[in-house]
Amino acid sequence: MKMTYVLPQTGRTENEEQEDWDGRFGDFLIDLQTQEGLTDLTIRQLQLHLRAYDAWLKELGRCWTSARREDIQEYLQQVRDHRSASTLRSKLWSIRRLYAWARENSIVTVPSCWMMVARRTYERKRTVVPSSHQLQQLLELPDTSTDKGLRDRAVLELLYATGMRATEILSIKLHQVVKDRCLRIMGKGQVERLVVYGEDAAYWIAQYKEKRQMMLLKAGHSVVATQQLFVSMGKHAAYQYFELRRMIRAYAQRLNLKLTPHALRHAFATHLYQGGAALRTIQLLLGHAQLTTSTIYISRRIEDSKKMMHIHHPREDGYKPYRRWSSG
């Protein structure tokens, strides 16, 4: 018996959206979400990738269960030619996970080497990290005399103050905001962690909360339409990811920057590091299981390297030897 996967937020099934959707994709998504605790946003992205891959194969007259390795490589090459490196990585991950799951469940009998299909090296696109001065300018752009501006300022302050992921920010419930400026959130992989934030973020969250109910009413929603902290003034009561991304992009463009919600997470880590925070501390605050993952989020500037050389290299003017190494 095939299971039917229900799309997050829409409540519609795959069969309702597309009659030829393979029910085994639904089984795969349910197993992945249940076993690994992936977010609805990640599951939705997987679903879109599977749909595109399946449609491409059907144009060749093939089913995904009988696809050859060469077919997959040709598909990924097409993605490489027309899409960004991050999209290629995401689609490659989706396909590898699909076939690994299908092999474990005896749906396909492909060699284990297929799990490494098309794992070629390619340049990772570097996230542009704004300076602390640019971030301060960004935070001051929202018009806080309006309800929308208050919400935008609160969101931006909290993103920069905590380095939380976009999905984590959007999943905060109203009752989680307490006076001690500490949030207990469920992060990636259903790993719980504590998040702390400063007085600036607390101030703007408090200002926004006073207008939250009015925002819901103005948008035609009930005041109990959602328990999420951040609400929308559109057709959805809860603030959506596409609205968050659009908001940050619009403010960033006014500063001639190209920023995403994830870029603020990088800025959080980078500015902590520039301020002297230990890598282990940054790892803890970001909620990473591996230290090497945290280092990806830190963008070192050439100015930082020059400053380090000036202070710590014996051939530089700013060098001061430790007492234990000085003579006498």
96 is catalytic: no
Q: Annotated catalytic, 265? A: yes
What local confidence, expressed as pLDDT, does residue 234 receive?
85
Averaged pLDDT for residues 204-229 = 93
Cα 157 from Cα 146, distance rounded (Å): 16
Query: What is the model's pLDDT at position 1?
Result: 37
262 assigned to active site: yes
Closest by Cα among 95, 78, 88, 160 to 125 = 88
Give the separation between CA 81 and CA 224, rounded to whole angstroms. 47
Average pLDDT over residues 41-69: 86
Instruction: Place 124 in a pLDDT band, splitting at 50, 70 and 90.
Output: low
Rounded average pLDDT over 64-71: 84
Question: pLDDT: is 114 or 145 the higher one?
Answer: 145
Catalytic residue among 89, 97, 188, 249: 188
**Which of 66-70, 137-141, 168-172, 297-301 is predicted with the least confidence, judged by mean pLDDT?**
297-301
User: Does position 12 have pLDDT exceeding 50, yes or no?
Assistant: no
Say yes or no: do domains 14-116 and 132-304 share a fold.
no
Please name the CATH architecture into which domain 14-116 falls: Orthogonal Bundle (1.10)
Q: Which of 24, 153, 265, 271 is an active site residue? A: 265
CATH architecture for residues 132-304: Orthogonal Bundle (1.10)
Catalytic site residue from 5, 99, 273, 297:
297
Q: Which of 24, 153, 165, 221 is catalytic?
A: 165
Return the SS3 of 173.
strand
Write phi, then psi, for 311 (nearest 5 degrees). Answer: -85, -40
**Catalytic (active site) residue 188:** yes
Indicate whether 215 pLDDT > 90.
yes
Q: 236 an active-site residue?
A: no
Strand partners, 193: 185
Asked if 133 is an active-site residue, the reply is: no
| H or E element, residue 37 | none
Domain boundaries, the chain: 14-116, 132-304
Q: Among the options 44, 80, 103, 262, which is catalytic?
A: 262
Which pLDDT belongs to residue 151?
96
> Residue 324 and residue 317: Cα distance in Å, rounded?
20
Q: Above 80 in pLDDT, residue 327? A: no
